[in-house]
Amino acid sequence: MKRFPLAQAGVALIEFAIAIPFLMILMLGIVETGRLAYYNILVGNAAHAGAFYGSQNIRAARSAAGMTAAALHDGQNVPQIAVSPDPTYYCQCYNGTTGAATPLDCGASVTSCASGTHRIVYVSVTVSGSVNTLFDYRPLGLPNPWTITRTAILRVSNTAE
């Protein structure tokens, strides 16, 4: 009866030695996924900050420099952040349920919308950032650095000049 436990001596160590590489790879994947999710959130927040600046009023919506500065200031922790293309504003006719499929020229008068509809102004800000991974995964077919791009579109709250 005493020989059976002695025959098992060291088996747990061998099993641990076999399992540890897989556990380390799993942990590395979790850390990388968490980092990329974190930067994804930062880039999205920067795009939203730029769009939020432009959504204050029509004057701010016309300020591409102001929206760019707000996005870059909010995304200062994102490596290699860029706002491209320039933030824009555009208009649509809205009937209370749906908007027009094609944007309008915002310089056009409000009467360019059909009867029963009104013009709504939107701002759009696209932000991208490049994030290097902890290890080079290019042999596995994954890019390095990873480019994360997010676009935020908000309605301009006050379109009065």
State the pLDDT confidence band at 158, using cuts at 50, 70 and 90: confident
Backbone angles phi, psi at 63, to 5 degrees: -95, 90
Lowest mean pLDDT among 26-30, 63-67, 84-88, 103-107: 103-107
d(CA 106, CA 100): 13
Alpha-helix runs per DSSP H in the chain = 3-7, 11-54, 58-61, 64-74
Every domain of the chain and the residues it spans: 11-155
CB 99 within 8 A of CB 157: no
Q: Which residue do the tokens 């709250």 mark?
A: 157
Question: Which of the two residues, 108 and 19, has the higher pLDDT score?
Answer: 19
pLDDT at 5: 61
> Per mean pLDDT, which of 45-54, 71-80, 141-150 is the most reliable?
45-54
pLDDT at 116: 72
Q: Given a cut of 60, is residue 113 above it in pLDDT?
A: yes
